[in-house]
Amino acid sequence: MSTTFTLFSNDIGGQGTINEAFDGFGCTGKNQSPHLEWKNPPPSTKSFALTLFDPDAPTGSGWWHWLVFDIPAALVQLPQGAGNVDAKILPIQVVQSINDYSINGYGGPCPPQGHGFHQYIFTLFALDVESLQLSKETNPAVVGFNINAHTIEKASLIMYYKRD
């Protein structure tokens, strides 16, 4: 049995579905963040951060779909739909900052039509601080910089999605 820091999901496998896909920008998905669970974080973890990134977006710098941080170290999963900030599913101290859709919370896959498969990389970061001291208005580049400055270990899960 593996004892490495691992991220997995009961909702997604290798392929994203209409459930995870964005509702907007020409896409008609359900924009529902998947269940995510992790095991074997480093013992020194003080909090977690989670990102969802598409490196294949034709922007020159990829596309940030979800940035979540200040996740308490005692938490071991995010339930399906946790990316909907209006649902208030996550503990109050958890921050879901703006993504590249300019919304807070989860923004699912929506690659350009006919652009082929894109990678959607969920990465969970074990951090050495309880809080990044950032707000929900903090842009993805600043969030990413601060996450990387405090990362102890990270685990990723990739799904693929295309729009015909």
pLDDT tens digits along 28-79? 999 999 999 999 999 999 999 999 999 999 999 999 999 999 999 999 999 9
Inform me whether the pLDDT recorded for 153 exceeds 80: yes
User: What tens digit of pLDDT does each residue of 75-123 get?
Assistant: 999 999 999 999 999 999 999 999 999 999 999 999 999 999 999 999 9
pLDDT given for residue 3 in this prediction = 86
**pLDDT confidence tier of residue 2, bands split at 50, 70 and 90:** low
66 contact partners, CB below 8 Å, separation of at least 6: 33, 50, 51, 52, 83, 96, 99, 105, 106, 107
Measure CA 132 to chain center. 16
Is the model's pLDDT at 134 over the cut of 90? Answer: yes
CA–CA separation, 30 and 84 (whole Å): 11
Residue whose entry in the numeric block shows the structure tokens 């990044």:
132
C-beta separation of 53 from 121 below 8 A: yes
The owner of tokens 């993805």 is 140
Domains of the chain: 6-161 (3.90.280.10)
pLDDT of residue 148: 98
- pLDDT tops 70 at residue 1: no
Count Cβ atoms below 10 Å from residue 106 Cβ, excluding itself. Answer: 25
Name beta bridge partners: 66. 52
CA torsion sign, 20 to 15 to 100 to 66?
A: positive
DSSP tag of 111? P
The residue assigned the tokens 């001291």 is 133
Is residue 13 very low, low, confident or very high in pLDDT (cuts 50, 70, 90)? confident
Q: Is pLDDT of 164 > 90?
A: no
Please report which residue ranges of 42-156 form alpha helices under DSSP H.
Answer: 140-149
